[in-house]
Amino acid sequence: MHRALRSATVVVCIALLAAWSPPATGTAPAGVAPAGAAITVKARLTGWVARRDGYHLFREGSTVRMVVRAWPALPHEDVLARLEWRRTGSRWRVLDVSSTTFNRGARAAFLVRGLPDGYSFRIRAKVPSTGTHEAGRSAWRYFRVR
């Protein structure tokens, strides 16, 4: 693996808002996932400067930010991000897997720093299944550093 890829760092922003506390009545708040519910996970990249051939383009040295949202709301549930890389014509390889938890608004963010140019990257978010809901994952988000 290329030396610059080994030094790439994925930094996790743990939460965007304050901690969630359960209601005093003991019932789940509106929008919280019921038992066995299917989960919708949406992810988007922010901070890119252009799009080309289906890839978001970022400036070299910039931070790639992926904002993740789940529906129905999953406050304090875990979410994983999988970052993969490749050179043109080769297969995708795992670079990093990071985790964080959703805030009370069912949002989380992942930051990627220190990526070299000349490679293609993709990242996706996944919410593992628990006893209360099924697993869910976002579509791949593709990007390059220029």
- Residue 146 confidence (pLDDT): 87
Residue 23 lies in a domain: no
pTM of the complete model beyond 0.85:
no
Residue 51 lies in a domain: yes
Residue 31 lies in a domain: no
Residue 30 lies in a domain: no
- Residue 56 confidence (pLDDT): 95
Domain count, the chain: 1
Residue 24 lies in a domain: no
Residue 22 lies in a domain: no
Residue 25 lies in a domain: no
pLDDT tens string, the chain, 146 residues long: the values are 555 555 554 443 333 323 333 444 444 455 555 667 889 999 999 999 999 999 999 998 899 999 999 998 888 899 999 999 999 899 999 999 999 999 998 899 999 999 998 899 999 999 999 888 899 999 999 999 98
Helix (H, G, I), strand (E, B) or coil at 5: helix
Tokens 């670079």 belong to residue: 95
The DSSP-derived string for 108-136 is: EEEEEE-PPSS-EEEEEEEE---SSB--E
Tokens 């099924």 belong to residue: 134
Contact (CB, 8 A) for 76 and 102: yes
- Expressed as residue numbers, the domain containing 64 is 3-16+36-145
Instruction: Identify each DSSP E strand in 1-146 by its residue range.
Output: 9-13, 40-46, 50-52, 55-58, 64-71, 78-86, 93-101, 107-113, 120-127, 136-137, 141-145
Residue 61 lies in a domain: yes
- Residue 73 confidence (pLDDT): 85
CATH code for the domain of 79: 2.60.40.10
Cα(13)–Cα(129) distance, integer angstroms: 22
